Amino acid sequence: MSEEQFQGTTMERSLLNDFQRDLPPVPRPFELIARQLGVSEAEVLDFLRKLKASGTVSRVGPVFAPNRLGASTLAAISVPPDELARVASLVSRYPEVNHNYEREHRYNLWFVITAPGRQRILEVIEEIELRSELSVLELPMLKDYFIDLGFRIDFRQTS
């Protein structure tokens, strides 16, 4: 993302870069972040809503260790290329789906499902299969790996 693409305020830039990790485990984490930034909680929440509405950010919230609170699984679908946008949109509508992404593979749409329990995961998979008319391949976690998904954004002009 270049400076030209993002004309945000200093607060917005700081929020994007400095608060990707370690969301404070307090009842109102955005109030605490706002105080640290010298702005109101409403300003922080409004900016995050705009990012989400524009599709720039897909999710804001804590990430919990897999299967420590509830249950989770990785899933994949082999989607015909001309159906990929439709099926990805369908999958994204489920609040249990953390994110989905395209991969260069026969199984080209991958996503993570997190739910209160295993039964809800199975229900979501079944609903996605029914609505997409495609089979979902479930890939349960055998070994836990931590991947840091935070990325520092460089706002310098690119040529």
pLDDT at 1: 40
pLDDT at 74: 93
Query: What are the DSSP calls for 13-29, one per residue?
Result: HHHHHHSSS----SS-H
- Asked whether the beta carbons of 108 and 102 are under 8 A apart, the reply is yes
Residue with tokens 């990790």: 21
The tokens describing 121, both together, are 């995961």
- Asked whether the beta carbons of 135 and 129 are under 8 A apart, the reply is yes
The whole-number average pLDDT for the span 153-158 is 60
Q: How far apart are CA 140 and CA 147, in angstroms?
A: 17
At 91-116, the pLDDT tens digits run: 999 999 988 899 999 999 999 999 99
- Asked whether the beta carbons of 52 and 108 are under 8 A apart, the reply is no
Look at residues 122, 102, 98 and name the one whose alpha carbon lies nearest to residue 110. 102
Judged against a pLDDT cut of 60, whether residue 71 lies above it is answered with yes
Q: Provide the whole-model pTM.
A: 0.59
